[in-house]
């Protein structure tokens, strides 16, 4: 521990850096989020102090600002990655829901599902979903296979996914 450092002054000196990096993280965290900007700024202050207490050794080559920047960058990048792991995209949730429904639902449940969701979709959107349901794997090569099969570009696929997401997120 670096006992000769005034941590309040350290945080105040690096206030702009902490707030700027917190803002960048705030804009990148997937919504909905349990964090607001003030939470991230407070975490940045804590990280600043903890990194200096635990790891900073004067005379080892890195400036204090460089060291603090690296600590904040690591911490906020971890939070952003965590937010994407914990909150999958709406379409990923619906894809999982569709796969589950298609394999577990009876005829009456599927009729209700068709009435509520399926009938809202265009023929191209239905075909896209059908191709997704036919294969349980995901990833870039799977998406490329679907685009090739349907004869569409990445841009068209993104538009399809957006349209499906909008239609599946509204129940009526």
pLDDT 10s digits, 40-55: 999 999 999 988 888 7
Say whether both 103 and 79 belong to one domain: no
Query: Measured between alpha carbons, how far is 3 from 50 in angstroms, rounded to an integer?
Result: 12
1: in domain: no
| pLDDT exceeds 70 at position 137 | no
105: in domain: yes
Residue positions counted in the chain: 172
What stretches of 29-63 show up as alpha helix (H) in DSSP?
Answer: 37-54
Say whether both 44 and 57 belong to one domain: yes
pLDDT of the residue at 138: 55
CA atoms within 13 A on the CB side of 82: 11
Task: Fill in the DSSP letter of residue 60.
Answer: S
102: in domain: yes
pLDDT of the residue at 54: 82
Count of structural domains within the chain = 2
> Could you list the residue range(s) of the whole structural domain that residue 23 is in?
7-86
| pLDDT exceeds 50 at position 172 | no
Say whether both 61 and 110 belong to one domain: no
pLDDT of the residue at 105: 56
103: in domain: yes
2: in domain: no
Say whether both 112 and 77 belong to one domain: no
Say whether both 50 and 111 belong to one domain: no
135's enclosing H/E stretch is none
Better-scored residue on pLDDT, 109 or 34: 34
16: in domain: yes
pTM of the predicted model over 0.85: no
Task: Fill in the DSSP letter of residue 30.
Answer: P
Q: 74: which 2 tokens?
A: 């690591």
Residues 6+ apart with CB under 8 A from 154: 147
3-class DSSP state for residue 113? helix
142: in domain: yes
């Amino acid at each position: 521990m670096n006992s000769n450092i005034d941590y309040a002054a350290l945080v105040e000196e690096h206030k702009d850096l902490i707030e700027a990096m917190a803002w960048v993280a705030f804009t990148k965290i997937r919504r909905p989020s349990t964090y607001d900007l003030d939470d991230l700024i407070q975490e940045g202050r804590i990280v600043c102090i903890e990194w200096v207490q635990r790891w900073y050794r004067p005379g080892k080559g890195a400036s204090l600002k460089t060291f603090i920047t690296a600590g904040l960058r690591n911490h906020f990048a971890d939070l952003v990655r965590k937010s994407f792991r914990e909150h999958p995209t709406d379409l990923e949730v619906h894809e999982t829901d569709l796969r589950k429904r298609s394999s577990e639902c009876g005829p009456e449940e599927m009729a209700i599902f068709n009435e509520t969701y399926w009938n809202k979709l265009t023929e191209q959107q239905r075909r896209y979903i059908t191709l997704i349901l036919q294969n349980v794997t995901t990833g870039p090569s799977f998406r490329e296979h679907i685009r090739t099969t349907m004869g569409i570009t990445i841009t068209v696929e993104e538009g399809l996914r957006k349209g499906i997401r909008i239609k599946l997120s509204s129940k009526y």
